[in-house]
């Protein structure tokens, strides 16, 4: 496996692990806050509840946009290589095509995971410093 692909795979694994740790921390903190707020949440609680909805929308929008742009770049590069193969055969043959598709899929996944990971890890850090009451 080439070094670049190993690095991308390790980065994705690390981000997935961090997201898997951060998400339950954030959920536990926010669910506890919702339960403690009861029928009449404070201004601070309402601000946090609004924030949690808006930040998810922004993170997932950014994620989808990043994946779409990365997929567009990958499709463009693949199209160019396909068209150029009519004039000269590819150097690596079918293996290079499979390698390229695998690398592009990892790139799309990495771009899509980045905004969600960034927001979840930042929230876990921020919420672990705040007191519930």
| Contact yes or no for 67/111 (Cβ under 8 A) | yes
pTM (2 decimals)?
0.76
Q: What is the separation of C-alpha 48 from the centre of its chain, rounded to a whole number of angstroms? A: 22
54 Cβ contact list (under 8 Å, min separation 6): none
**Per-residue pLDDT at 21 exceeds 80:** yes
Asked if 133 contacts 36 with a C-beta cutoff of 8 angstroms, the reply is yes
User: What does the mean pLDDT of the chain come to?
Assistant: 87
CB atoms within 10 A of CB 107: 17
- 61-90 confidence digits (pLDDT tens): 999 999 999 999 999 988 888 787 777 766
* Distance from C-alpha of 45 to C-alpha of 56, rounded to nearest angstrom: 17
């Amino acid at each position: 496996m080439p070094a670049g692909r190993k690095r991308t795979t390790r980065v994705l694994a690390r981000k997935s692990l961090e997201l898997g740790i951060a998400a339950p921390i954030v959920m536990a903190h926010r669910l506890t806050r919702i339960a403690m707020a009861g029928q009449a949440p404070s201004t601070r609680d309402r601000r946090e509840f609004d924030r949690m909805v808006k930040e998810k929308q922004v993170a997932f929008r950014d994620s989808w946009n990043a994946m779409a742009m990365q997929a567009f770049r990958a499709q463009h590069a693949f199209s160019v290589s396909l068209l150029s193969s009519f004039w000269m055969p590819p150097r690596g043959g079918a293996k290079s095509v499979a390698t390229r598709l695998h690398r592009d899929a990892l790139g799309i996944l990495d771009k899509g995971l980045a905004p969600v990971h960034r927001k979840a890890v930042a929230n876990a850090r921020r919420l672990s410093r705040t007191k519930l009451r």
